[in-house]
Amino acid sequence: MNYFSSNFKLGILGGGQLGKMMLYDTRKFDIYTCVLDPSPEAPSKLACNEFTVGDLLDYDTVVNFGKQVDVLTFEIENVNVDALETLEKEGVQVYPSSKTLRHIQNKGTQKLFYRDHDIPTAEFSRFAYTSEIDEAVDNGGLSYPFVWKSSRFGYDGTGVQVVRSERDLVKLPNVECIAEKLIPFKNELAVIVARNEKGDMSTYPVVEMEFHPEANQVEYVICPARIPDDIAKKAEQVALKTAKAFNHVGLLAVEMFQTREDEILVNEVAPRPHNSGHYSIEGSYTSQFEQHIRCIFGLPLGNTESKVAGVMVNLVGAENHTGKVVYKNIENILALDGVTPHIYGKKETRPFRKMGHVTIVNKDITVARKIAEKVKQTIEVISE
């Protein structure tokens, strides 16, 4: 199929920052793009060929949108899976598939998938409602502390809470959820796997993630991870096994724990470009966004090696700031070596909202990490 400078149409469900960054590469290749998003001010609006406002969870909206394109992909998991299945039956190529997304979309189903496919993961229990957890604790089936996760609609740290006592439990929404054993870990790691329909696979280097203690959001992504080679190899093997089990087509970001005993446990996966791969725009031979396009079009996979070490810093809205966004001191970080800001195009800021990221590249990962610290201390995402 001729994808370039032709009548071919790529549809993207979701017009957030991941869609916007994917559009860097569709524009580079002159691929015609159609984007569906519920917000008329979505970041992707400026960069696509056709923009449609619509609900990603509405069956008819997604089906009608999907019928107009040749290949359909998504940049967010919260989309109507029944609609994707209908489109596949009608001959639209949907990657990743509805079957894959159905396993991943619900965290309880996702965890069962790991258990069924012998993929190492933390012990867990499923609950139809949070209110049922009390009884499990009383009966001795569950003990504090544990990690509570909403089964649906969690993102960027929402829908995840460490529960240390009954007092923590009563604050949680009464929804379908899982309770997961709290794992004492050395590191949180991630591996992005690229896989096409032919089954060709490659992995990006293992990255290390440092989290904000309150917001449960990634603050720094460090590539390569500062871990021994044998641990990195083990993490890559687990990630490849996971992508193969899902029969995945596209990018699969596999988030993992390195335990104190150096075991690798899968935490969760994202079937799309991911925060842990943003460094690749500046740091890799092939960015994760270009690689996703290569995967879903069945093109040869690009080189996943890093040209240079990279650290990514998330730019999130400052606490106590809601309203029209101002990037304070951005000119100061632009004066630093190897620093590239990416501004997502969200006009309104609020506490901990993802507003952009900054990549720092350097031959020496230690130097890159120090500059990243300076970036974090210098730039502020505030309101007018």
Binding residues: 107, 149, 180-183, 188, 267-268
Q: Both tokens of residue 30?
A: 């002159």
What is the rounded distance in angstroms from the CA atom of residue 301 to the CA atom of residue 250?
A: 10
At which residue do the structure tokens 């690749």 appear? 280
Q: Please provide the DSSP assignment of 264-286 as one string.
A: EEEEEEESS--GGGTTHHHHBSS
Q: Please provide the DSSP assignment of 219-240 as one string.
A: EEEEES-SS-HHHHHHHHHHHH
343 three-class SS? strand
What is the rounded distance in angstroms from the CA atom of residue 291 to the CA atom of residue 81?
A: 24
Cβ-contact 231, 258 below 8 angstroms: yes
Q: Both tokens of residue 254?
A: 């596999």
Q: Which residues make beta-bridge pairs with 146?
A: 163, 181
Q: Both tokens of residue 33?
A: 């793009």
8-state DSSP, 121: B
Cβ-contact 202, 305 below 8 angstroms: no
Q: Which residues are annotated as a binding site for ATP?
A: 107, 149, 180-183, 188, 267-268
- Residue 353's φ and ψ, nearest 5 degrees, are -70, 135
| Residue in 207, 208, 210 with CA at minimum distance from that of residue 304 | 207
